């Protein structure tokens, strides 16, 4: 399930359309889930337990850790997980840090 502030629930097709517009897709599942169920193309995996720390990292450290440019607080970001619970938590974390 996928979450974004503008649309708390997105379909897979809506995500595919958003990705064409340079949206950062963060998959908050655990690494073992990615290994077991597969990676969503062009997403980065930041397990929910690491997300608060990751979103507060120095941009250089974020790039080194996740091989991706750190999003600014105004960049479009979409979170996903397996059922939608963790992605909603991730959205709340990001918004509490000032992400719009």
Q: Which residues are catalytic, by number?
A: 81
Look at strands 2-3 and 43-45 and give their pairing. unpaired
Look at strands 24-27 and 77-80 and give their pairing. parallel
Look at strands 2-3 and 77-80 and give their pairing. antiparallel
């Amino acid at each position: 399930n996928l979450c974004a502030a503008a649309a708390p629930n997105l379909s897979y097709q809506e995500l595919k359309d958003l990705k064409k517009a340079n949206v950062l897709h963060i998959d908050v599942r655990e690494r073992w889930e990615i290994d077991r169920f597969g990676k969503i193309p062009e997403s980065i995996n930041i397990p929910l337990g690491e997300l608060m720390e990751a979103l507060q990292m120095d941009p250089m450290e974020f790039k080194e850790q996740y091989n991706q440019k750190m999003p600014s607080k105004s960049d479009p970001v979409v979170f996903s997980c397996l059922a939608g619970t963790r992605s909603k938590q991730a959205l709340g974390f990001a918004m509490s840090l000032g992400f719009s």
